[in-house]
Structure 1
Amino acid sequence: MTRENRGRAVELLTVRQVLDELGGISRRTFYRWRELRIAPACIRLPNGELRVRRDVLNDWLEDRAERAAS
């Protein structure tokens, strides 16, 4: 699913797609991360479903990347 955002396409991922991208973590783990406020920011649609913007997920992953020791 994509959506235009200021002239560029923004990919909105389902929770299932996010779980798969994170190596198949469980839905329960993802929702626990949300409770702890450590999951990537989500968008709640009017029907109650969640979506995660691709750029938000990528930034979230980058923030958690371990840096090589200097």
Structure 2
Amino acid sequence: MVLGEYIKCYYAFTNWKIGLFIGFCISFSIEFMQLILCRGMFDVDDIIHNSLGFLIGILISNRIMLKCK
């Protein structure tokens, strides 16, 4: 299951801005740990791509939930 869908189902928020913020925070924390622990490579592109992927997962789950109602 995509992390965006999992968080959406668990917390049941409907605002995409909240989802984008949560995705950004999770991605930023992972990238920051990579920078601090010198594991992997810190890259701003990863934060942007992961946040957008999180947002896409939320939007898809919103569409599925609307069709199921």
Task: Give 1 or 2: higher strand fraction.
Answer: 1
Shared fold (TM-score, shorter chain, > 0.5): no
TM bucket normalised to smaller: under 0.3
- Greater relative contact order, per chain length (Cα 8 Å cut-off, separation 6+): 2
The TM-score with structure 1 as length reference comes to 0.26
